[in-house]
């Protein structure tokens, strides 16, 4: 057990961030599964993180309720902005959500209660490994059930062809709003968890770059199923640690990964059909 204690004291933060990033990747997977490219997830994460941290610091709510509030707050924001924003599609939606993210970041940067550019300091370290594990398990189970449910199939129909889905009697606008706010809810909880193990949060962590990072995780892993985003999030969190020696060029690798995956693996790393084909070929080669 001694090696485990050593490992844990060095790498627990890293393991925590893998968990949080998986949650974030799943949150964007949810909106993507409904055919929406939203770049607002970093902002939703930020809203969750700030609401949770402020509740802990000023009102001393219990951790459970803080987490819940961290999810509900961005989901409420998503419900409010969702109705008008989700009328847009494609590039326009991406741009609108990007603009929304910037407005959130700049607002947080200028408010007094959020600590401005210095952010919030001294957030108690309440997050424990089992919190993340439990929330992840519940989320993955919930999403896996959702995929196979009426709602999940409606999302898929909308993603494939919005007009056809509408003609089949699917209430497209309502399902889009559901995907958007549920994604915001998950991202908010991830933000709240994150705030309670990093001790410190600042507006810099919730900008455009972070929205892109979250998107990269889903694109790298592939978003045709749930395993893809989880795999992508894990790889992209561990990669910078493995590439420490590259110093300044570290994010070069992130960019290159994004370009190469889009060019050569359009469905992401985790594409069951291709993997099955490989396995088949491997077996065939041996026989």
Shortest distance in whole angstroms from residue 109 CB to another protein:
6
Q: Which residues between 5 and 44 bind another protein (CB under 8 A)?
A: 37
Position among 15, 61, 68, 102 found at the interface with another protein (CB under 8 A): 102
CB of 189 to another protein, least distance (A): 25
Give the nearer residue to another protein in terms of CB position, either 6 or 209.
Answer: 209
Residue among 71 and 74 whose Cβ is closer to another protein = 74
Output 87 or 150, the one with its CB closest to another protein: 87
CA distances from 276 to 135, 161, 247 (A): 31, 28, 37
Angle ∠(269,273,277) on CA atoms, nearest 5: 100
Tokens of 221: 């892993």
Q: Does 266 bind another protein (CB under 8 A)?
A: yes
Binding of residue 219 to another protein (CB under 8 A)? yes
Considering the complex, state which of residue 195 and residue 215 has its C-beta at the smaller distance from another protein.
215
Q: Which 233-262 positions form the footprint of another protein (CB under 8 A)?
A: 247-252, 254-259, 262
CB of 102 to another protein, least distance (A): 5
Task: List Cβ neighbours of 4 (8 Å cut-off, separation of 6 or more).
Answer: none
Q: Which among 23-31, 50-58, 99-107, 235-243 is the span making contact with another protein, rule CB under 8 A?
A: 99-107
| Least distance in angstroms from the C-beta of 78 to another protein | 14
Which value, in Å, is the radius of gyration of the alpha carbons in the chain? 19
Per DSSP, what are the bridge partners of residue 173? none
* Cα distance between residue 192 and residue 69, in whole Å: 9
142 binds another protein (CB under 8 A): no
How many CB atoms lie under 10 A from the CB of residue 95? 12
Q: How far apart are CA 221 and CA 204, in angstroms?
A: 25
| Residue 177: partners with Cβ closer than 8 Å, 6 or more residues away | 79, 82, 83, 86
- Say how many C-beta atoms besides its own lie within 10 A of residue 36's C-beta: 25
Cβ contact 254:216 at 8 Å: yes
Among the listed residues 1, 125, 167, 263, the single contact to another protein using CB under 8 A: 263
Binding footprint of another protein on the chain (CB under 8 A): 37, 84-85, 87-92, 94-96, 98-100, 102-103, 106-107, 109-110, 162-163, 208-209, 212, 215-216, 219, 247-252, 254-259, 262-263, 266
């Amino acid at each position: 057990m001694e090696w485990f204690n050593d490992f844990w004291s060095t790498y627990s933060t890293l393991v925590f961030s893998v968990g949080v990033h998986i949650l974030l990747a799943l949150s964007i997977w949810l909106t993507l599964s409904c055919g929406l490219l939203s770049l607002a997830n970093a902002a939703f994460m930020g809203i969750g993180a700030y609401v949770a941290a402020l509740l802990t610091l000023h009102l001393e709510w219990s951790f459970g309720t803080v987490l819940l509030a961290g999810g509900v707050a961005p989901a409420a924001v998503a419900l409010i902005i969702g109705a008008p924003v989700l009328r847009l599609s494609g590039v326009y939606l991406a741009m609108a959500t990007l603009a929304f993210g910037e407005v959130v970041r700049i607002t947080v940067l200028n408010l007094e209660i959020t600590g401005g550019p210095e952010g919030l300091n001294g957030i108690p370290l309440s997050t424990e490994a089992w919190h993340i594990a439990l929330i992840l398990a519940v989320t993955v189970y919930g999403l896996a059930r959702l995929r196979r449910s009426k709602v999940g199939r409606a999302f898929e129909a909308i993603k494939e062809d919005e007009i056809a889905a509408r003609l089949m009697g699917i209430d497209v606008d309502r399902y889009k709003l559901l995907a958007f706010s549920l994604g915001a809810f998950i991202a908010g909880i991830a933000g709240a968890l994150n705030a309670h193990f990093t001790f410190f949060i600042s507006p810099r962590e919730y900008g455009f770059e972070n929205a892109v990072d979250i998107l990269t995780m889903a694109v790298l892993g592939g978003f045709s199923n749930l395993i893809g985003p989880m795999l992508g999030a894990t790889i992209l969190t561990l990669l910078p640690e493995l590439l420490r020696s590259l110093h300044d060029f570290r994010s070069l690798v992130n960019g290159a990964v994004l370009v190469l995956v889009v060019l050569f693996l359009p469905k992401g790393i985790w594409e069951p059909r291709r993997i099955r084909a490989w396995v088949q070929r491997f077996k065939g080669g041996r026989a």
